[in-house]
Amino acid sequence: MSMPFYVSPEQAVKDKAEFARKGIARGRSVAVMQYVDGILLVAENPSRALHKISEIYDRIAFAAVGKYNEFENMRVAGVRLADLRGYSYDRRDVTGRGLANAYAQTLGAIFTETPKPYEVEIVVAEVGESVAADQMFRLTFDGSVAEERGFVVMGGSAEQVAASVRETYAEGMPLAPLLTAAVRALGQNGGEGPRELTPAQLEVAVLDRNRPRRKFRRLVGASLERLL
């Protein structure tokens, strides 16, 4: 009887992490950024049917990179959890922090208990009554969660895109110049040199604190072209 091949737990975790990182890096980047009136979410995504950016609840948005079917499962689960909590208790009880914690537990369990981890990275963003009250939570494939300020870039050549954003980003920027800077930075993704992205190649949305109860709004067509 042959002995089973042994892999140490440390090596197994390292291999899973490397596998997930490579899968996430194969895609295009997503940027989530605070501006004076809310939170801007921008992705390079020519598809009109498959969204990387979505609404979760009244003032909460979801952005993700990686394998679409995997982060779509996470998005749907988040919507169901938010609806159930809001219906059972109060709409104010649905928070970005609560959703981020739920996602962290799910991703952590998948990473440790299954042979293949999810190849996803997620941002849960919640707009508040002021810039200081805005919240952005970044979740990685292993369930790690971190609260971010200012901006977050994930997926693809994230470090290169983030370096470009850092050159122009300032707290309290208006929407139009921030969107222009974000699109210019996303054009650095991929290592083939700067590219000029058109509105047709972009998926853009905002959490606008000045809107009534539902803060999420997609920017498409003429409204996106005017801002660019």
Backbone angles phi, psi at 206, to 5 degrees: -135, 150
Pairwise CA distance, residues 31 & 177, whole Å: 14
pLDDT number for residue 4: 64
SS3 28: coil
SS3 136: strand
Q: Does 130 map to a domain?
A: yes
pLDDT number for residue 192: 60
Angle, in degrees to the nearest 10, between helices 175-186 and 158-168 = 150
Q: Does 2 map to a domain?
A: no
Pairwise CA distance, residues 13 & 143, whole Å: 13
Q: C-alpha angle with apex 51: 207 to 157, nearest 5 degrees?
A: 90
Q: Does 20 map to a domain?
A: no
Q: Does 63 map to a domain?
A: yes
Q: Does 11 map to a domain?
A: no
95 neighbors 62 (Cβ within 8 angstroms): no
Pairwise CA distance, residues 78 & 100, whole Å: 9
31 neighbors 42 (Cβ within 8 angstroms): yes
CATH number of domain containing 116:
3.60.20.10
Q: Does 121 map to a domain?
A: yes
Helices (H), the chain: 9-25, 68-88, 96-113, 158-168, 175-186, 221-227
Number of domains in the chain: 1
What pTM value is reported for the model? 0.91
Domain that holds residue 89: 25-221
Q: Does 196 map to a domain?
A: yes
pLDDT number for residue 152: 96
Q: Does 18 map to a domain?
A: no
Q: Which residue has the tokens 């003429």?
A: 222
pLDDT by residue, tens only, the chain of 228 residues? 565 677 788 888 899 999 999 999 988 899 999 999 999 999 998 888 899 999 999 999 999 999 999 999 999 999 999 999 999 999 999 999 999 999 999 999 999 999 999 999 999 999 999 999 999 999 999 999 999 999 999 998 889 999 999 999 988 899 999 999 999 999 886 656 678 888 899 999 999 999 988 999 999 988 888 887
